[in-house]
Chain A
C-alpha cells in the first residue's frame, strides 16, 4: 500500500521535508530487464510472423511507465501478450511490476524519517474470450482475473465481460461484472488485518453515427465494503481554533476511520470525429461521478490526434479534474477535526475539495517503411508519452511519462 509523502509531510518539521530522491540505481536493473524483454519479444514476434500460416494473430506490448512528484517516484515496467486463434478464442496475459520509491516516515512508524522502496507485483492479468460471429451480429464473451501482491497488500480481481455487436455491427453493447477481494496489512502493526470487498457492474454502449463519427457512453456502479481506509494514515482530532484565526490547530492523531461501505456511480461518454482531409481526429471525453461519501467529480478531456506522414501520429490532450469534499472530511481549509467532532475520520488528501489540470503529448511511430531483412519489424510501433499535472490538493504537481512498444504477429 502506497502512501504519498505529501500527505505525511503536512505534520513534519521543515528539516524533514523535501528530502532528496532515492537513487535510481536500485531500479536500473529493472529498466535493463524491460529493454531486454522487449528485444526478446520483438524477435519472437518476427519469428512467429515468418512461420505463421496466416491463422494465428496477436501482439506483444511492453511499457515502461514513470511517475514523479516532489518526494515520490513510481516506475512500472509492464508486458502484455495478446493472442487470437482462427476460431475466435482470445487469450491475454500480462505482468506489471510497481516500483515505488518514496521519502516517507509512513513505514517506519513515524519514529524516524526514511527512504523506502516498495514493490508490487501484478501477476497474471489473465483474460480469455471467445468471439461468435453470426454475420450481421457478433457476440464476445470473456473472463478475466488479476492477482497483485506487495508486503502489506494482497488483491484479487476477477470478473466476466460480454458484448454484442448488433444493428449490422453499428452498435455494440457491453456488460461486465467485476469482483475485488483485497487483504490489507500493516508493516507497523503486524496484528492489523483488514478486508476489502468490491462488486462492480458496468454497462457500455458504442454507436457508429456516420463513417467518421462515433459515440461511446458507459455507466459503472460499484459497491465497496470492509476496510476502506489506510492503516498508516492518522487524522488529527480535538483541534482548537488558533487565536485570531479560524484555522484549527493541535489535536491528537487517531487512526483513520472512514465509513465501512461506499456506493460509487460513474457516467462517462466520448465523441470521436475523424476529418479525412487533414487526417485529424477530435475526441471529447466527459465523465461525471458521485458517491455515497458525498464526493462529486467532473472530468472533461479534449484530445486531438494528428497523422503526420505515413508513420507518425501526434496526440495532444488537456484534462481537467474537479471534485467536492467528502461529507466526513475536515472542513475546507482545515487539516484537523474540532473538539466536538464524533464522526468518521480521514486524513486522505483525496477526500478534500480540489482541482487539477493536466496537459500531455504522445508520439507514436510505426516502422512501416522498413524493407529487406528488417521487413519483419514493419509491424512494430513505438510510442512516447509525457504529461504534466498541476493540482490544488496537498499532493504535489507531477509528471507522468511512458515509453512503449508493440509488435504484431
Chain B
C-alpha cells in the first residue's frame, strides 16, 4: 500500500510539473484563490500546534514541521 501511494504521489507531482506553462490564470481571475481552503496562510499558526502534537505521537514528522524543540519527538 505504501509503495503504491508513493508512486501515486510521484505521479501527481509529475502531473503538476507538466502543468507548468500549460495554465495561465490571469491576475483578475484569481479572486477565488483567496477563499478559505484555497490559501493556507490563515491556518498556518494553528497548524503549528497540531504538528507539535503529531511529532510527539507519530514516527513521521507532522505537516511542514522540523523535528526538535524538546517535544519528545526524537
Instruction: Give A residues with C-beta under 8 Å from B.
Output: 1-4, 61, 63, 65, 67, 74, 76, 78, 80, 94, 96, 98, 120, 122, 146, 148, 150, 152-155, 157, 167-171, 178, 180, 182, 184, 196, 198, 200, 205, 207-212, 214-215, 217-219, 222, 224, 227-230, 264, 266-269, 271-272, 274, 276, 279, 281-283, 285-291, 293, 295-299, 303-305, 307, 313, 315, 321-324, 326, 349-351, 356, 364, 381, 383, 385, 387, 391, 393, 395, 398, 400, 402, 404, 406
Contact = CB atoms under 8 A, between A and B. Distances in A.
Given A157-B69, A267-B13, 20 more contacts: A2-B56, A2-B72, A67-B53, A94-B45, A146-B69, A168-B25, A168-B26, A170-B24, A211-B25, A211-B29, A224-B74, A271-B12, A272-B37, A274-B37, A286-B5, A288-B9, A298-B2, A323-B60, A381-B42, A404-B45
Contacts, number: 224
A154 to B, nearest CB: 8
B60 A266 contact: yes
Q: Is the interface of A mostly helix, strand, loop or mixed?
A: strand
Contacts of A80: 45
Interface residues of B, number: 55
B36 A307 contact: yes
B38 A406 contact: no
B32 A212 contact: yes
Interface string B39-67: 00010011011101110111111011011
A167 B21 contact: yes
A267 B56 contact: no
A239 to B, nearest CB: 23
A167 B66 CA distance: 30
A299 B61 CA distance: 11
B36 A313 contact: yes
Interface string B1-41: 11001101110110111011101111101111101111000
B49 A65 contact: yes
A364 B60 contact: no
Given A120-B69, A214-B38, A307-B35, A209 B19 contact: yes
B72 A207 contact: no
A240 B17 CA distance: 54
Interface of B: 1-2, 5-6, 8-10, 12-13, 15-17, 19-21, 23-27, 29-33, 35-38, 42, 45-46, 48-50, 52-54, 56-61, 63-64, 66-74
Given A208-B30, A305-B37, A391-B57, A269 B70 contact: no
B13 A120 contact: no
Given A196-B74, A287-B63, A205 B56 contact: no
12 contacts: A1-B72, A76-B52, A169-B27, A170-B20, A184-B74, A219-B13, A267-B6, A269-B9, A281-B35, A289-B61, A324-B2, A350-B73
A95 to B, nearest CB: 12
A208 B23 contact: yes
B68 A180 contact: yes
Contact of A157 (B9, B36, B64, B66): B66
A150 B71 CA distance: 10
A158 to B, nearest CB: 10
Most A CB contacts (10 A, CB to CB) among B2, B17, B32, B57 go to B57
